[in-house]
Amino acid sequence: MKKILIISSSPRKGGNSDLLCDRFADGAKDSGHTVEKVFLADMNIRYCHGCGACNATHKCVQKDDMALILDKMVNADVIVLATPVYFYSMNGQMKTFM
């Protein structure tokens, strides 16, 4: 049994890419895996300021939801990233997350 973390960057709950996340989650659960979905639109993730503090501390100085997501990622066996495609690229929410 695997721990699966799905990260959806769809700006709309129930949008096409978010629905694909839900169908993937259903299949994974039916196969006996545990699944958690993070909806980035509900999270507060700030842009990197390039301050470099993380180089020494391995922690970001910003107090946002990214630390929570990173903990979930470390504990996951499988990470699924889902994004709508805008202008032939991933959307801004996913770019900020990455």
pTM: 0.89
Per-residue model confidence (pLDDT) at position 19: 94
Per-residue model confidence (pLDDT) at position 49: 87
Does residue 80 contact residue 7 with C-beta atoms inside 8 Å?
yes
- Alpha-carbon dihedral of residues 40, 41, 42, 45, nearest 10 degrees? 60
Our count of domains for the chain comes to 1
Does residue 6 contact residue 25 with C-beta atoms inside 8 Å?
yes
pLDDT < 50: residue spans in the chain: none
Please give the single-letter amino acid code of residue 97.
F
Look up the domain containing 92 and give its range.
3-97
Per-residue model confidence (pLDDT) at position 80: 98
Q: The CATH number of the domain where 71 resides is what?
A: 3.40.50.360
In a 13 Å sphere around the CA of 82, the CA atoms on its Cβ side amount to 25
Please give the single-letter amino acid code of residue 1.
M
Distance separating alpha carbons of residues 72 and 97, to the nearest angstrom:
14
